[in-house]
Amino acid sequence: MNEKEGFFVNVYLLVGIGGFIGAMLRYGISVMTEMWWYGSFPAATLFANYAGCFLLPYVSCKMGSFVPTNVQKAITSGIIGSFTTFSAFSVETIALFESGKIAVGLLYLSLSITGGLLFVRLGEGRGNSK
Amino acid sequence: MIFVAIGGFFGAIARFWIGQRFNTSSFPFGTLFVNIIGAFLLGILIESGVEGDWMLFCGTGFLGAFTTFSTWMLEARKMEVGKAIFYVIITCGAGFFGAWLGL
């Protein structure tokens, strides 16, 4: 095995481990949310997506150049990428529409997109400031 | 919990691999692809009535990690406004349509 292959194996394994952690955190949040949230509004997914949107640019900026590229990818693509989710977001929105809760569905959709973009900006701003 | 985590392990690797291959041009086709396919497959999975550990593994774990919201938003943020609007609308449009088809 040459060096390039070694890198290949390494970064994929690291991203996988990141995904292992990120998915578990997301699930943990949804289980905890179910304990106090009974509404039809998908609060857990929204919260995870908001948090991930803030953390992705923030952590990328803070890691700078002193963290190895492999580890950076494990944290950004692995942990944060798996922590946030688009599939649940789509299915939840469609489920709200199909159950006749059009207003709640539209609220969820617009809050996700505008809030997501806002948190990405905030994360960038915070990450770049000392 | 362990089913979600193992699903997440494979979902993240699959997304990362597709991203490395298809996010190379000026448009993130890889992210677009995983999100649309992931939304469609999750719809099918729920509709098929899969429950319990299989749902945690395939749905919450694999497909949850396979698709991503944070990367999508960050990519949109880095584009020019017109392109970003197009990217957000095409992802939502196709992703929701996929979920609707599946459900």
Does A124 sit within 8 Å of B1, measured CB to CB? Answer: no
Bind-site residues of A: 81, 84
Residue B84 and residue B92 in contact, taking contact as beta carbons nearer than 8 Å = no
User: How many folded domains does chain B comprise?
Assistant: 1
Residues 61-90 of A with CB under 8 A from B: 73, 77-78, 80-90
Amino acid type, A86: F
CA B37, distance to chain mean position in Å, is: 6
Return the closest-CA partner of residue B42 out of A88, A24, A10, A47. A88
Q: Are B32 and B19 in contact (CB under 8 A)?
A: no
Measured between CB atoms, does A115 come within 8 Å of chain B?
no
CB-nearest partner of A52 from B13, B70, B76: B70
Tokens of A28: 């943990």
Nearest by CB to residue B12, choosing from A18, A90, A93, is A18
The per-residue pLDDT for range A82-96, each reduced to its tens digit, is 999 999 999 999 999
Residue A46: half-sphere exposure toward Cβ, Cα within 13 Å: 19
CA distance A95 to A78: 28
Question: What is the count of structural domains for chain A?
Answer: 1
Q: How confident is the model at residue B18 (pLDDT cuts 50, 70, 90)?
A: very high
Q: Is the predicted pLDDT of residue A41 greater than 50, yes or no?
A: yes
- Containing domain of residue B42, as a range? 2-102
Find the helix or strand (DSSP H, E) in which A69 lies: helix A69-73
Spell out a b/e string for A13-44, using b for 16 or more CB atoms within 10 Å of the CB, else e.
ebbbbbbbbbbbbbbebbeebeeeeeeebbbb
N-terminal to C-terminal alpha carbon distance within chain B: 25
Task: Find residues 57-76 of chain B whose CB sits inside 8 Å of chain A.
Answer: 59-61, 63-74, 76
CB contact under 8 A, A85 and B68: yes
Query: By CB neighbour count within 10 A (0-12 exposed, 13-18 middle, 19+ buried), where does A110 fall?
Result: exposed
- Mind listing the pLDDT tens digit for each residue in B56-97? 999 999 999 999 999 999 999 999 999 999 999 999 999 999
Range of the domain at A106: 3-128
- Does ipTM come in above 0.90? yes
Is residue A3 predicted with pLDDT exceeding 50? no
